[in-house]
Amino acid sequence: MTFRDKKHQILIVEDNPGDFLLIEDYLQEELASSLIHHATTFAQAKDILSRNVSIDIIFLDLSLPDASGESLVNEMMKLSGSVPVVVLTGYTDKEFGIKTLSLGISDYLLKDELNASQLFRSMTYAIERGRIHTELKESEENYRNLFQSSPIPMWVFDTDSLAFLDVNDSSIKHLGYAREEFLSMSINQIWPEEDEATFEALLNPYRKNKLLFHGVIRYKKKNGEIITAEIVSNVIDFDGRSARLTQATDITEKLKSEQALKISEQRFKALVQEGSDLIDILNASGIYKYVSPTSSSILGINPGQMTGKKIFDFIHEEDKYRVMDQFKLLNTQKRLHILPFRFRDGENKWRWMETIFTNLSDDPAIEGIVANTRDVSESIENEIKLKDSVDRYNIVAKATSDIIWDRDFTSDKITWNRGLQGILGYRDMDAVTDVEWWYSKVHPDDKGRVTGIMNFNFNKKNTRWQDEYRFQCADGSYKYVFDRVFLEIDEFRNPVRMIGAMQDITRKKEEEQRLKLLESVITNTNDAVVITEAESKSSGGPKIVYVNDAFSKMTGYAMDEILDKNLSIMYGSNTDAKELRHLEKAMENWEACEIEIVNYKKNGEEFWMNMDIAPVSDGKGWFSHWIAILRDVSERMNYIQAIEDQNIKLREIAWTQSHIVRAPLARIMGFIDLLNEDTKGGEMDKSDFITHIRSSAYELDEIIRTIVKKTEQVENQPQNNESRSNNSR
């Protein structure tokens, strides 16, 4: 739509009837479809502007009955806001008319020289300048918001004086200085004193040129803490001054983590090379790829003598096939514990060894199976002696579903009842283990706490205590157990044995976790959740017993303000009574229901809300509560309304433009009829008719193109609205 075609709303503030009629005629000559408002006094103009009329431009006479001169201009500029004001003056006030430009008016016109073209041109320029100024102001504000809302500290400093020119909120929060403190400081004041000379030398090459600076620098917070930041800085123009925009990403914790990882790697290397265990890496066939140096001290075999050979070549014939069968399980299991087997050492003697295999073939740093092997020769004989007591615990196992364990402090071995096989699934294991085996099966997250409690009670000689922790099953999964422990002490208060009864409480703990998870979902969901009583004991619906934080954010009502109230507290004049009756009927029949209604926030603001409500029953099948999920759907409803409005505009365009199309079409049809009549007589010059027909056809084509262009603009408008709506989300 062109500037002339748009329906402008124009306010003319002129007390002289003759001048007003002249201005009105000029405007209608150029802008026939515009709507003109007339005020003869400043009070009338103020009244028109206070009605929220969408005025596009104001033409102001400098001499009104109730105001004039500079005070009139100042008051009008306060009222007009972003609407451009054009002053109308005579020759006698020409000098003052020029002065009004400094007061903020868009233009001034001399009445004695006024004509339609000049008036139209001044109006066009004033409106366009106002639009461009508004867009420029919005653009500057957007860039300002982007700078201030960045989660990464950013600042601007003068390249000559190094003084801070601006900082964002993240810088204030991260470094601890107030904005006023920043703006009174220079950038070198947040450098550690010991780094200042280095930074000056580093910064000098970047002060005058426009090179991008990227490096790592240390900064000092207000509390004295030193942080390390990764800096990206570039030259910008800041209010006519050469400055640098700097982004500082804190990498202090990252560097600490890298250092900790390095120390951890060194510690691990020391454990492998100097530890008491034999740590090896094998391929899928059991061939040694790496043998730790501890093989020399543990087995008396040089690592080179084992590398490239199969582990099974060193295992006793009676144990080899058992170990081989278990080794194959690593195709489906990541971790496998091999019970003691006999292994030939460097002196051709048999040593009892116990191994834990961990399949790390997918780890690019390992690409093999890690074998953690320990010499257990001294303890095997003691285990054989303890097997005689296993029958005693198996009898207990028949009468209880608990896992009974018995730790003998003399041998430091643990004897288990049948619960080890039946409940935990260790069917291929002996009933006697060492303490380390028990310790290795406690969940890593529970080990510190469990051993701490056990050591505390052991040192205090407490004879009874209980604890809950997770214990690993044979398939690698974990069960929650409730362990009741009894400590037996002798007459000298020395611990003799420790007996425990582990009860499987996995199902109970999983149910507790499920309930906590559901509670977390309700608490943290973005949808508002409301829970009410089942029965309505008062008008307005059942009482509310719970709302989540999302409800408070959506409506403005805090939990203590809404409890014991009902949902009718949000109803208002535009709330659809028909939808409420539908909801009431569903609740009477104990049926789920979904409605969309207009509700009101605590501050009175109106919004569209989608409500999905359903009854909740207890374990006996009785309905105990209602739970409602509420969503703010105002944006979607507003978008639907916008589409309906645009459809109306399209119909108006079609109706209006169809009348314009008829004029050239009627001329074409008339000329064709004249040509047809002339064909019979043959006396008229047909070239004139053809010229007129061609001219009318071109005119018709131009009108149709204009109609198509306007229609496309209106059709694209809902998409633009949707894009803006999506961007706002």
The DSSP line for 165-226 is EEE-HHHHHHH---HHHHHTSBGGGGS-GGGHHHHHHHHHHHHHS-PPEEEEEEEE-TTS-E
Task: Output the pLDDT for position 143.
Answer: 66
117-126, 134-143, 261-270, 675-684: least confident range: 675-684
Task: Output the pLDDT for position 383.
Answer: 67
Q: Indicate the helix (H) or strand (E) that contains 371.
A: strand 368-375
Paired strand residues for 613: 593, 628
Q: Distance (Å, rounded) from C-alpha 171 to C-alpha 143?
A: 17
Q: Distance (Å, rounded) from C-alpha 353 to C-alpha 340?
A: 5
Q: Distance (Å, rounded) from C-alpha 721 to C-alpha 728?
A: 11
Name, in order, each residue with C-beta under 8 angstroms of 294's C-beta and a sequence gap of 6 or more: 272, 273, 274, 275, 276, 277, 278, 279
Burial grade of 355 (CB within 10 A; 0-12, 13-18, 19 or more): buried
Q: Find the mean pLDDT for residues 3-16.
A: 83
Q: Find the mean pLDDT for residues 573-583.
A: 89
Q: Distance (Å, rounded) from C-alpha 417 to C-alpha 268?
A: 37
Q: Distance (Å, rounded) from C-alpha 714 to C-alpha 642?
A: 11
Q: Find the mean pLDDT for residues 608-620.
A: 83
210-224, 284-298, 478-492, 514-528: least confident range: 514-528
**Residue 678 reports pLDDT greater than 70:** no
Alpha-helical (H) ranges within 567-633 are 577-588
- 699's tokens: 């005119």
Q: Indicate the helix (H) or strand (E) that contains 22.
A: helix 17-30
Q: If we measure between CA atoms, which residue out of 403, 452, 395, 437 comes closest to residue 423?
A: 403
Share of the chain above pLDDT 90, in %: 20
Q: Distance (Å, rounded) from C-alpha 340 to C-alpha 559?
A: 62
81-95, 287-301, 356-370, 382-396: least confident range: 382-396
Confidence of residue 523 (pLDDT cuts 50, 70, 90): low
**CA-based R_g, the chain, Å:** 44
Paired strand residues for 338: 355
**Range with top average pLDDT, 17-21, 23-27, 354-358, 558-562:** 354-358
Task: Output the pLDDT for position 715.
Answer: 63
Q: Distance (Å, rounded) from C-alpha 289 to C-alpha 403?
A: 40
Q: Indicate the helix (H) or strand (E) that contains 363.
A: none
E-strand ranges in 226-277 read 226-238, 241-250
Task: Output the pLDDT for position 3.
Answer: 67
**Residue 73 reports pLDDT greater than 90:** no
Task: Output the pLDDT for position 725.
Answer: 44
Task: Output the pLDDT for position 729.
Answer: 39
Q: Find the mean pLDDT for residues 683-712.
A: 74
